[in-house]
């Protein structure tokens, strides 16, 4: 049985549920009501220790003082999802990208945009892996597993909605 550490952190967008593996790599960041979000399981170890760096960096991010997370991450997913998630990591703070742009970055065909959207929606590391920075081709705020109001809040924090 693999060890899963869990903790909760207060945040301006609501409480965050964080999980980490036995090596201390962050495996998920979820919010209440999140589509596909993590739910605490029997046997998980409640321990804030593995989350000190994540807590400090998230606090600095929410204070507008941190633009790039430097945390060990581990998310299980297919090769396709891993490529999409790596492309998300390349979208800089304060910027946005469209689903089509993410598809192009990984060399996926135009028909694969829907699959790219599915992979983005399955991102287990909200905020830290910036899926909130992906918008519709026409600039609309499209789906976000954490809720559109949180997506708008995060993009406003980052200054990505200025001039819209």
Nearest to 154 by CA among 135, 36, 117: 135
Active site (annotated) includes residue 131: yes
- Dump the DSSP string for 5-72: EEEEE--TTS-EEEEEETT--EEEEE-TT-TT-----TT-EE-SGGGHHHHHHHHHHHTT--SS----
Name the catalytic one among 126, 131, 145, 154.
131
Burial of 75 (0-12, 13-18, 19+ CB in 10 A): middle
Residues classed as catalytic = 131
């Amino acid at each position: 049985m693999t060890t899963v550490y869990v903790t909760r952190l207060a945040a301006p967008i609501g409480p965050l549920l964080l999980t980490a593996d036995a090596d201390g790599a962050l495996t998920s960041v979820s919010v209440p009501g999140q589509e596909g979000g993590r739910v605490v399981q029997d046997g998980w170890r409640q321990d804030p220790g593995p989350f000190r760096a994540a807590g400090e960096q998230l606090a600095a991010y929410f204070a507008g003082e941190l633009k790039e997370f430097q945390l060990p991450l581990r998310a299980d997913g297919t090769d396709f999802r891993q490529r999409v998630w790596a492309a998300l990591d390349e979208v800089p703070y304060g910027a946005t990208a469209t689903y089509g742009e993410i598809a192009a970055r990984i060399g996926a065909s135009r028909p694969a945009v829907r699959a790219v959207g599915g992979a983005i929606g399955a991102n287990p590391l909200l905020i830290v892996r910036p899926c909130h920075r992906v918008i519709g081709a026409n600039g609309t705020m499209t789906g976000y597993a954490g809720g559109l109001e949180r997506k708008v809040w995060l993009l406003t924090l980052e200054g990505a909605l200025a001039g819209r």
